[in-house]
């Protein structure tokens, strides 16, 4: 197991948190790191309800969520600003960075470029839905905790979703294959070597189980 860097970092609110807890905060649902804060708002600052909206039922992380959406509304916006699932990040908002990746029927997709109304009757999984209901981290999440593969961690939820989707289809990839599998994700901190190390350990955890020596959340 790699050496854990548990140095002190500042979160968005300027609070000092340990690096390990910072990473765990993002893994558990993105409460620490926020994305660009725009919303679909009317001029008075509230959602423009009724302006071409439809009431949809979405299957998100195993729960049926009823939500009113506009025709042009993206899934990333619905998840973040209406369902409160802020683990999904918005980076470029134009299908270039992968920060917004979620699983649709277990296939990674950019939620910034997916219209919400097109995914009703589909199974949507966000980073908040990776851990089991008892709070046990997904093996790839656990590997990221163990091997500290991210710097600021803004890109981490998207990488996790891409990796988990890829590993469902390719459980035993070479490092090069895994790199190809998550090549739709970019890291502004350019922490690529450590990210790949962590995700490769995650693939191993998925195949062989999480080692007893792994650090627990």
Distance in Å, CB of 185 to ligand FES, minimum:
8
Report the 3 state secondary structure along the chain. CCCCCCCEEECCCCCEEEHHHHHHHHHCCCCCCCCCCCCCCCCCCCCCCCCCEEEEEEEECCEEEEEEEECCCEHHHHHHHHCCCCCCCCCCCCCCCCCCEEEECCEEEEHHHCEHHHHCCCEEECHHHCCCCCCCCCHHHHHHHHHCCCCCCCCHHHHHHHHHHHHHHCCCCCHHHHHHHCCCCCCCCCCHHHHHHHHHHHHHHHHHCCCCCCCCC
Distance in Å, CB of 192 to ligand FES, minimum:
9
User: Tokens at residue 111, please?
Assistant: 């939620």
Nearer residue to ligand FES within complex by CB, 99 or 130: 99
Distance in Å, CB of 38 to ligand FES, minimum:
12
Nearer residue to ligand FES within complex by CB, 10 or 172: 10
User: Tokens at residue 73, please?
Assistant: 């509304």
Q: Which residues bind ligand FES (CB under 6 A)?
A: 90-93, 95-100, 110, 112, 150-155, 187-189, 191
Distance in Å, CB of 156 to ligand FES, minimum:
7
Nearer residue to ligand FES within complex by CB, 57 or 118: 118
Nearer residue to ligand FES within complex by CB, 88 or 142: 88
Distance in Å, CB of 167 to ligand FES, minimum:
19
Nearer residue to ligand FES within complex by CB, 66 or 94: 94
């Amino acid at each position: 197991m790699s050496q854990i860097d548990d140095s002190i970092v500042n979160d968005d609110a300027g609070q000092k948190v340990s690096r390990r807890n910072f990473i765990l905060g993002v893994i558990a649902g993105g409460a620490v790191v926020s994305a660009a804060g725009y919303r679909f708002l009317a001029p008075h600052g509230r959602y423009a309800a009724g302006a071409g909206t439809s009431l949809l039922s979405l299957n998100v992380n195993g729960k049926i969520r009823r939500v009113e959406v506009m025709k042009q509304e993206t899934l990333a916006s619905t998840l973040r600003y209406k369902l409160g699932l802020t683990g999904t990040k918005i980076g470029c908002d134009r299908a270039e960075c992968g920060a917004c990746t979620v699983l649709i029927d277990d296939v990674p997709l950019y939620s910034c470029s997916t219209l919400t109304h097109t995914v009703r009757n589909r199974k949507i999984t966000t980073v908040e839905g990776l851990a089991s209901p008892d709070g046990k981290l997904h093996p790839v999440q656990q590997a990221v905790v163990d091997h500290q593969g991210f710097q600021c961690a803004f890109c981490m939820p998207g990488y996790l979703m891409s990796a988990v989707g890829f590993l469902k289809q390719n459980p035993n990839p070479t490092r090069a294959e895994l790199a190809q599998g998550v090549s739709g994700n970019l890291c502004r901190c350019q922490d690529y070597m450590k990210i790949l190390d962590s995700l490769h350990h995650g693939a191993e955890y998925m195949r062989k189980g999480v080692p007893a020596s792994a650090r627990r959340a």
